[in-house]
A and B are shown apart, each in its own frame.
Chain A
Amino acid sequence: MDMETLLAYDWGIMAPEFTIIIVATLLSLMDLFLPNHFPRKWFSAFAAMAVLLAFVFTIGQLGQEANMILYDTYRLDLFATSFKLLLLIGAGLVLSLAASYQRKQDQGEFYYLLLTALLGAMMMASSADLITLFVGLELLSIASYILVGLDKHALKSNESAMKYVINGGISTAITLFGFSYLYGLTGSTQLTTISEILPSLIRTPAQGLVIMAFIMTFVGLAFKISTVPFHMWTPDVYEGAPIPVTAFLSIVSKAAGFIIILRVFLTLFGALEGLSLNETFMQSMSLWIGVLAAITMVLGNILALRQHNMKRLFAYSSVAHAGYLLVPLVALSTLTLENIWFYLLVYMFMTAGGLAVIFVLYEKHGTLDLEMFTGLYKRSPALAILMTIFLLSLAGIPGTAGFIGKLNIILGALSTDPAPIILVSIMIAATVLSYVFYFGILVQIYFRSNPFPVTIKLPIVMKTTLWICAIAIVGLGIFPNIALDFYHHHVDLFQITEMLWLSE
């Protein structure tokens, strides 16, 4: 590759990534060279500015023609842009949470590790090649492993980092194993090339290997979104990690997981002929994914019923939500991307909000037990009402965005033919089951008397974050078209269907 080729690329389309990487590098250098007494808290402002700038760049990219650079390994299309916006919003929320986090030592590494992980996630959204995809995935994963163990002196944090690395390593190995099948079968790592060769393998003896590749890749990637069978790490890691990192895992990392799954599976298998006539490969596999989705939803909610530790409860709730998010993937339609996009957006706000409240109460009372909410309404009515909004949204009660997200998914699923009625019924049943523990928290907030006679004062950044989340949830719950129209206007369905070969 000579200079001329390098300069010929339209580097402008990587502007958001460049912003993030430059600021991450700057921050790491500053951390090295700045004197020890310089408060690293200021890094959060730099990081937030980087995220904001990248957000602005990404907005500017909306509506652009699809473009590929770097020997067709990096692809910028509306899929990438729309999901990068989500990642950036999520990262912004995590940063604002982190801004009020009081560590024992002032650590600068949090911010540049976070940006690095974000960069990995953004690369995944844009990758058009298995190698780029994998590099993005590992960038995200390795940065997250360190983030989880960031509280060096906390035993729990160390333990969960260890668990995360081991589980993550296994899942990465399995993903890579799946990728190796794909490469072995087609001789290419290019997603488009693979998708062109794969159809010739169906209904030949190599078909079994294609299925193997599919299952291995899926199982490996299931780790990131914490669905069954790779959900076991979730509660332990969520519990051990510092709260902003927990938020990062459940918001950005999970979204990234869905992005990579959509990218790989829809590009490679979306239009692939199925095992029997008149169906696509994804439809042939839908029973399998459907079963995983169902188990994930039910298990996540059942296990959440027994949790008293709030971080663990949110971990299982996050497992359950991953199950809901798999439903659109089972029932592929033109609504699939919209469904997942919207639900992820909503999920970010409600989880960030919920974890923020937990964070505030944890700082105040030093406990993560359910009893932290006891009598919250008496102590801080505003915080209680905010938490109520987040919980109602997580439970999917109308009036909140969580409901619209679920309705959207259910509608999308039932508009396909044949409609997965059983799966949708399981989803709805799981939702009702989840009422028990979400409303259990409300019981603590409103019905029980107050054991902590302290009043709570919120830092201004925290207050703003909470209100933004709540307003977003109620706003999108009553006028979901604010987000949906944005998606409709900027994301050209035809380009997406073209990319995913959904157009038949």
Chain B
Amino acid sequence: MGWLTLLVFSPMVGILLLILVPSTQDKLQKRIAVSCSILPLLLALIVYQQFHSGANLSLSIPWISFGQYPFLYTIEYDLGVSGFSLVLIILTAVLMVVSMVTATMQIDKAWKQYALLTLLLEIGILGVFASQNLILFFIFFELTLVPMFLLIGRWGGFEKERAAYSYLLYNGVGSAILLIVMVVLFANVGSTNYEAIANASLSEELSMGLLIALLLAFGVKLPIVPLHTWMVRVHVQAPPALVMIHAGVLLKIGAYGLMQFGIGFFPAAFQDVAPLLAILGLVNLLYGACIAFVQKELRSIFAYSSISHMGIVLLGIAAMNEAGLQGAMFQTVSHGLIAALVFFLIGVLKAKTDTTHMRRLGGLSRTMPVTAGVLLAVGLASLGLPGMSGFVSEFMTFLGIFESMPVIAAIGTIGIILTAAYILRAIMDITFGKEVLPQDGVMDLQGKEWIPVSIMLGLIVLIGVFPTSLTHSIQTSVEAIVLRIGG
């Protein structure tokens, strides 16, 4: 069995318990959901501890075999973690707890189904990061598709079904491309195990072709402009508790895939594509920032802000050196926390003021001082204030990209300024703008709401102040990749 299998399938416990408890017992249902989302986190911490004590966590069991001897293809059930994927697993587990707590406050209708689907989604995401085998990766990857579709379509905003469909189709196309890549690799290498593929020698054209297909597949997930429209829709339409997971972890699958498969499998071809990727990253960074600047609605602003920040991840990957990759990984984690916290706050604002429109939120510092303060803090983290996680990521990324592509890096710095501009404008308008909200009736953060805020803010500052807490884990992954690209 192994710890990893336990970890990946641990949300099943919650699913079973929820099925057994009748949906009329709302309170009990909520309690079960929250406590069962803590279980994967505990297991993730155990795995983390085991990983760092040098235990061998990987596991490989023959699972499906096609064809007969001597034409046998076998798919193994391979699980394992690297430093980076482990960090993402922990991020997933943390955000899941936080999101579940948030959901208890924000989701009113059909709680049982919501919790069931979210837990199912968690199995998918954990599986994605714990797989050591492309087909297994794909299966878990697709497993996230169905619950997300239902969650967006059922609990979303006004245009929820449209958002659900565009999510489904864009990601469906993305995973279809991934499927082709996978199967071509399988037919050529005879295995879909990561290591086996990385060690296989493929012809140059084939590698290039597959890499471009991979870029498309993960480009949708990340998302790379112009494949981003679905993501904005999801951010705006989905319930905030779900967007915390979506922006926090699901988008990260794209970054993870690019690093794990893109560089991991085709290091030589990746070298050739890197400039293109850097340009795409630049476009993401600047385009996202510019559009965010003109948005009038908080969710849209931060949706485009996510696009912009994913540009930084792309730049870091494109740098193809230690600092850049480290930056990309840092940004992945840091943006996960920041985005989750932002969407938590948006959820709070939406619940209490029934609006996320900037013009109608003015003067927040008077009516909801604490919320406004936290919003300011996370805004500053997002624009990369030293001492926050955003700073380390941007610093490392630009360190890397300046080393390998100085021109692009120079242009990229404009993005940082733009980021500062739009975030400060948005936060200033909201916190200190013209007062429109009535003083009474609107309540500030209270009770349970402190849990998510303190966890996420704490982690953001922790990573900002002690980057080693993260480097400690991801360093092995960075080194492994750098070794492959021969740098």
List residues of chain A with CB under 8 Å of any chain B CB: 333-335, 338, 392, 397-399, 403-404, 407-408, 410-412, 414-415, 419, 421, 424-425, 428-429, 431-432, 435-436, 439, 442-443, 446-447, 480-481, 484-485, 488, 493
Contacts and interface: CB of A to CB of B under 8 A. Distances in A.
A484 B154 CA distance: 38
Contacts of A488: 65, 68
A333 to B, nearest CB: 8
Contact of B183 (A397, A410, A436, A481): A410
Shortest 8 CB-CB contacts between residues of A and residues of B? A398-B139, A414-B187, A398-B142, A432-B172, A428-B176, A493-B68, A415-B187, A432-B176
14 contacts: A334-B68, A338-B67, A392-B146, A397-B146, A403-B139, A404-B64, A411-B73, A411-B186, A411-B187, A424-B183, A432-B176, A435-B172, A442-B150, A446-B153
B138 A398 contact: yes
Contacts of A410: 179, 183
A481 B165 contact: no
B66 A412 contact: yes
Given A407-B135, A414-B184, 18 more contacts: A338-B67, A398-B139, A407-B179, A410-B179, A411-B66, A411-B186, A414-B187, A415-B187, A421-B184, A425-B180, A428-B177, A429-B173, A429-B176, A432-B169, A439-B165, A443-B161, A443-B164, A480-B64
B149 interface: yes
Contact of A399 (B73, B139, B150, B179): B139
Given A407-B183, A443-B153, A484 B65 contact: yes
Contacts of A435: 168-169, 172
Contacts of B186: 411, 414
Contact of B149 (A403, A425, A439): A439
A397 B71 CA distance: 26
B345 interface: no
Contacts of B145: 397
Contact of B180 (A338, A428, A442, A443): A428
Contacts of B140: 398
Interface string B131-172: 000010011101101100110011000001100110011001
A408 B187 contact: no
A411 B186 CA distance: 8
B64 A447 contact: no
B150 A446 contact: yes
A302 B68 CA distance: 36
A333 B187 CA distance: 13
Interface residues of B, number: 36
Contacts, number: 94
A442 B149 contact: yes
A322 B172 CA distance: 22
Contacts of A403: 139, 142
Given A442-B150, A446-B154, A411 B169 contact: no
A504 to B, nearest CB: 14
A443 B176 CA distance: 22
A398 B143 contact: yes
Contacts of B73: 411, 415
A399 B67 contact: no
A335 B66 contact: yes
Contact of A481 (B65, B67, B138, B172): B65
Contacts of A480: 64
A397 B176 CA distance: 11
Contacts of B184: 414, 419, 421
Contact of A436 (B143, B169, B177): B169
A334 B146 CA distance: 34
A167 B256 CA distance: 54
Interface in B108-141: 135, 138-140
A415 B184 CA distance: 8
Interface of B: 63-68, 71, 73, 135, 138-140, 142-143, 145-146, 149-150, 153-154, 160-161, 164-165, 168-169, 172-173, 176-177, 179-180, 183-184, 186-187
Contacts of A436: 165, 169
Q: Which of A338, A403, A446 is packed against the most chain B CB atoms within 10 Å?
A: A446
A443 to B, nearest CB: 6
A428 B142 CA distance: 14
A421 B173 CA distance: 16
Contacts of B63: 481
Nearest to B209: A421
Contacts of A415: 71, 73, 187
Nearest to B173: A432
A206 B64 CA distance: 46
Contacts of A481: 63-65
Contacts of A428: 176-177, 179-180
A484 B187 CA distance: 19
Contact of B64 (A334, A399, A484): A484
A447 B154 contact: yes
Contacts of A443: 153, 161, 164
A412 B187 CA distance: 8
A35 to B, nearest CB: 50
Nearest to B141: A398
Nearest to B117: A446
A424 B183 CA distance: 10
Q: Which of B139, B153, B154 is packed against the most chain A CB atoms within 10 Å?
A: B139
Q: Which of A408, A410, A436 is packed against the most chain B CB atoms within 10 Å?
A: A410
A493 B142 CA distance: 33
A411 B134 CA distance: 14
A461 to B, nearest CB: 25
Q: Which of B66, B165, B172 is packed against the most chain A CB atoms within 10 Å?
A: B66
Contacts of B65: 481, 484-485, 488
Contacts of A447: 153-154, 160-161
A424 B71 CA distance: 20
A439 B168 contact: yes
A480 B140 CA distance: 17
Contacts of B67: 334-335, 338, 412
A384 to B, nearest CB: 11
A435 B140 CA distance: 18
B380 to A, nearest CB: 39
Contacts of A446: 150, 153-154
A424 to B, nearest CB: 7
Contacts of B143: 398-399
A335 B66 CA distance: 8
